[in-house]
Amino acid sequence: MAAPFSLYVHIPYCVSKCPYCDFNSHVVPQIPEAQYTDALVRELEHYGSAGDWRGRELQSIFFGGGTPSTFKPTSIGRILAWVAATFPLDAACEITMEANPGSVDAANFAGYRDAGVNRISVGVQSFQERLLKFLGRVHSADEAKTALHVVRQSGFENFSFDVIFANPGQTLNELAADLDTALGFQPPHLSAYNLTFEEGTPFHHEYRAGRMQNLSEDEEIAMAELIENKLAPGGLVRYEISNYARPGHHSRHNVNYWKSGDYLGLGAGAHSYLRSSDAVTGQRWSNEKNPGKYMAQLNDTGTAVVDWEAIDRDKAMGEFMFLGLRLTEGISVAEFCRRFGEPPARVYPKIGLWTNEGLLEESSGFLRLTAKGLLLANSIFVHFM
């Protein structure tokens, strides 16, 4: 029997484009909600009849964006009803939806809960007006706090929110204040992302022009250490480089990505990954990114795929390593051997060097990054890509 898989649904529309965002998001005069929902249902029908996916159990569904909360609860409910009619759902299926903390979006939280969403992820980013303005967020600090109260009142026992740190000019005291406010809401899950200047974004343009600077490496490390030291006593344990959770509240959807599981993506620019029957090699494909072209292509051909990549053994091994090492538990050496026929240290001799340097450690059958290694993770990951 095929292993369970995850479903990602991309809603590409936003009220405004944040200057740090390089995701496939679009600001339009009027969101074609009904038309886009129809396209998602059509794409879902296509995959529901495909042999690789038909009858397989869903362990998680994730509505990402863009801003999924730009869609009404009725549209989200319609999509979920079609999903449930197409695929069997795990009894504990995690159904997550990203949402903005703005008052209009928060007013719909109860409706999303009634539609079937059982986990909501709120894009807070900060509780301080100065930082929200810098990040181009359209909500206020008070709206962020109100939204988190509404999440609880709407019946969401499982929820998460994001905090962005290492903003230019941000101090440790400002970050500590954000974390203290965050802990006051007793979130089951929190994501803390280091601000990066992604190519093609306004922030990257300002950085290239010399008008914006990164914090120093020492400042970023101090902030990363502060986050863990603040959150752990508050019950939020780090389980991935950027993610912290209470027991039983890890993001099932994202853990499936990090463990190289199969996932199906619907919507403009969505990506999918499917392992071959040998459980070693696989294939990855992606949809047309432009929402208008995505909808038109689906109408014309029944599919919106524009790019396809074969994942050979070498690439599959590399992805298994750099995705799995994002998790604080690390990668199972036995699972690597089962999939690829040899231990990771034989394939990647630098593992011995990194272990001697105190960046990696192996215990209880798992190879993982040390606390020092987590701070330097990207410099290790490039060797697997």
d(CA 365, CA 293): 48
Q: Which alpha helices (DSSP H) does 107-157 contain, by range?
A: 109-115, 129-134, 141-153
- Tell me the per-residue pLDDT of 90-120, one tens digit each, with 9 for 90 and over: 999 999 999 999 866 788 999 999 999 999 9
Place of tokens 């928060």: 106
Global pTM? 0.95
pLDDT (0 to 100) of residue 1: 61
d(CA 59, CA 88): 9
> 252: Cβ–Cβ under 8 A, 6 or more apart, which residues?
6, 59, 60, 94
Q: Where in the chain is the domain with CATH 1.10.10.920?
A: 314-384
Residue type, 166: A
Tell me the residue length of the chain.
Answer: 385
Give the DSSP letter string of 62-96. EEEES-GGGS-HHHHHHHHHHHHHHSPEEEEEEEE
- State residue 39 phi and psi, 5-degree precision: -65, -40
> Is the domain defined by 314-384 classed in CATH 1.10.540.10?
no
Fold (CATH) for 5-257: TIM Barrel (3.20.20)
Place of tokens 């894009």: 123
- State residue 304 phi and psi, 5-degree precision: -120, 15
pLDDT (0 to 100) of residue 2: 78
List residues bridging with 360 in a β-sheet.
Answer: 369
> 52: Cβ–Cβ under 8 A, 6 or more apart, which residues?
274
Strand ranges across the sheet with 263-266: 237-240, 243-245, 189-194, 159-165, 119-125, 89-99, 58-65, 5-11, 263-266, 271-275, 282-287, 305-311
pLDDT (0 to 100) of residue 349: 93
Q: Are 163 and 193 in contact (CB under 8 A)?
A: yes
Q: Where in the chain is the domain with CATH 3.20.20.70?
A: 5-257
Q: Which residues of the chain have pLDDT under 70?
A: 1, 103-104
